[in-house]
């Protein structure tokens, strides 16, 4: 169960954001060569933890808590130690889920992220404070939650993930709280017993900040086990950035493997060059186009959807409109692969791979596949000047589609394609 509690109405006063790179909320820089630098360390980060906590709710604050938490100095943070309360981790797979044949990277992007709370059953609470200068009216971050399914835990003692936003006077501006419930429907699961895991997949959250109210602010991340000592709860944090979750035109390069569901949206466009394998699933939508670039692959067995829709926050499957079937002739005539179009499409009908061959002195620059109601299904940008281009449509559902081919002479030509 997720709760977003707005303490103070915060208005974004700036216009559209220009896309800028975000390098892991300083995690790429501060560990390693800069770890002993006074420019970062304890002035920007602070960590505390305590074990044997008896009560946690969405209003929990490690600063005002009666128990005395143990501080972890910046210089004491270890690397790839999953039995410590705070650890920087590399870009391997999350070990608890990997043991259950679920492949989820423990880093969202780049080479490093930070892990809060250990993988032990000890009713512990771990927090991280992250101080930053307010230069833009938004702060966002990526998070991955992993917890034992809290079977048998009473409703008042469940695991929590809390994020608080404070101004430089320590006034609470906004807060976000996730309560992990038994067989929580907001989470993916490896099973329904207490020894199984619930996991969120990588998610993004943003807070708006009025830049006229405060010059500095602080994020406080709190990761709490259940307070009955039944299971553990851990969180991975990455990409703390002064940019919105929904970017204009992001590049998607992170692989999607077994057990993963990758949901991405963008205001204008998405350029994907990643791979989707095993039982992975990808849902990508953007306001203008979703481009599957050279190197993108969605292997057999994955379930994927790509369509045109802006930043709606909605990734639910969209059923086909049965009224559109009236637009299709009951007796589909043989699809014409005439040379008059300037290219040949085969095989048609097609099962997995569709070949497009140019028969004139032109080069294909863009290939788009549309549903009969006009929604974009996938798009590819052929590489080079090859006369033959192949697109993989094995993940596309059976039906009739419109293939649009754009060439370097500016022409756009369409033909029907039947997917078996």
Q: What is the pLDDT of residues 2-41, one digit of tens each?
A: 444 333 333 222 223 333 445 445 576 555 434 444 444 4
SS3 237: strand
State the sign of the Cα–Cα–Cα–Cα dihedral 295, 296, 300, 301. Answer: positive
What tokens does 10 get?
Answer: 């915060």
Q: What is the pLDDT of residues 95-130, one digit of tens each?
A: 999 988 888 899 988 888 999 999 888 899 999 998
Residues 210 and 297 in one domain: no
Residues 50 and 145 in one domain: yes
Highest mean pLDDT among 90-99, 346-355, 367-376, 401-410: 90-99
Residues 51 and 163 in one domain: yes
Q: Tell me, yes or no, whether 24 lies in a domain.
A: no
SS3 41: helix
The CA-based angle 244-143-258, given to 5 degrees, is 115
The DSSP output letter for 358 is E
Q: Tell me, yes or no, whether 1 lies in a domain.
A: no
Q: Tell me, yes or no, whether 94 lies in a domain.
A: yes
Residues 76 and 201 in one domain: yes
Q: Domain end: 202, 223, 241, which one?
A: 241
Query: pLDDT value at position 22?
Result: 57
CATH of the domain at 178: 2.60.120
Residues 108 and 149 in one domain: yes
How many domains does one find in the chain?
Answer: 3
Q: What is the pLDDT of residues 270-286, one digit of tens each?
A: 999 999 988 888 899 99
SS3 115: strand
**Cβ atoms of residues 170 and 256 within 8 Å:** no
- pTM, to two decimals: 0.65
Residues 52 and 191 in one domain: yes
Q: Which of these, 230, 206, 296, 148, lies nearest to 4 by C-alpha position?
A: 206
Decide the pairing of beta strands 297-298 and 275-276: parallel
Q: What is the pLDDT of residues 296-311, one digit of tens each?
A: 888 877 888 888 888 8
């Amino acid at each position: 169960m997720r709760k977003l509690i707005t303490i103070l109405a915060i208005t974004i006063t700036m216009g559209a954001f220009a896309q800028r790179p975000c390098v892991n909320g300083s995690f790429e820089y501060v560990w390693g060569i800069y770890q002993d630098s006074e420019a970062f360390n304890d002035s920007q980060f602070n960590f505390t933890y305590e074990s044997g906590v008896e009560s946690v709710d969405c209003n929990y604050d490690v600063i005002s808590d009666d128990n005395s938490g143990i501080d972890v100095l910046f210089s004491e943070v270890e690397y790839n130690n999953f039995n410590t309360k705070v650890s920087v981790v590399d870009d391997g797979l999350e070990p608890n889920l990997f043991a259950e044949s679920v492949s989820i990277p423990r880093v969202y992007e780049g080479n490093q992220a930070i892990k809060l709370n250990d993988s032990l059953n000890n009713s512990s609470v771990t927090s991280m404070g992250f101080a930053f200068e307010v230069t833009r009216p938004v702060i966002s971050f990526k998070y991955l939650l992993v917890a034992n399914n809290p079977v048998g835990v009473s409703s008042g003692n469940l695991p929590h993930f809390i994020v608080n936003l404070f101004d430089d006077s320590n006034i609470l501006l906004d807060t976000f709280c996730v309560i992990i419930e038994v067989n929580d429907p907001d989470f993916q699961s490896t099973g329904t017993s207490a020894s199984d895991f619930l996991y969120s997949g990588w998610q993004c959250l943003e807070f708006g900040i009025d830049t006229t109210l405060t010059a500095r602010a602080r994020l406080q991340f709190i990761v709490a086990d259940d307070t009955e000592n039944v299971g553990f709860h851990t969180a991975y944090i990455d990409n703390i950035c002064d940019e919105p979750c929904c970017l204009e035109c992001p590049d998607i390069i992170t692989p999607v493997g077994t057990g993963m569901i990758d949901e991405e949206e963008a205001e204008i466009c998405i350029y994907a060059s990643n791979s989707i394998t095993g039982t992975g699933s990808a849902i990508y939508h953007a306001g203008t186009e979703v481009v599957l670039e050279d190197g993108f692959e969605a292997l057999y067995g994955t379930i994927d959807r790509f369509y045109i829709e802006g930043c709606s926050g909605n990734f639910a499957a969209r059923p086909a409109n049965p009224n559109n079937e009236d637009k299709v002739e009951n007796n589909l005539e043989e699809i014409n692969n005439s040379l008059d179009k300037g290219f040949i499409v085969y095989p048609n009908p097609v099962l997995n791979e569709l070949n497009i061959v140019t028969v004139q002195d032109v080069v294909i620059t863009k290939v788009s596949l549309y549903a009969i109601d006009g929604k974009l299904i996938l798009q590819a940008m052929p590489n080079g000047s090859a006369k033959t281009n192949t697109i993989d449509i094995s993940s596309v559902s059976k039906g009739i589609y419109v293939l649009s081919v754009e060439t370097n002479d500016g022409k756009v030509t369409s033909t029907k394609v039947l997917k078996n």
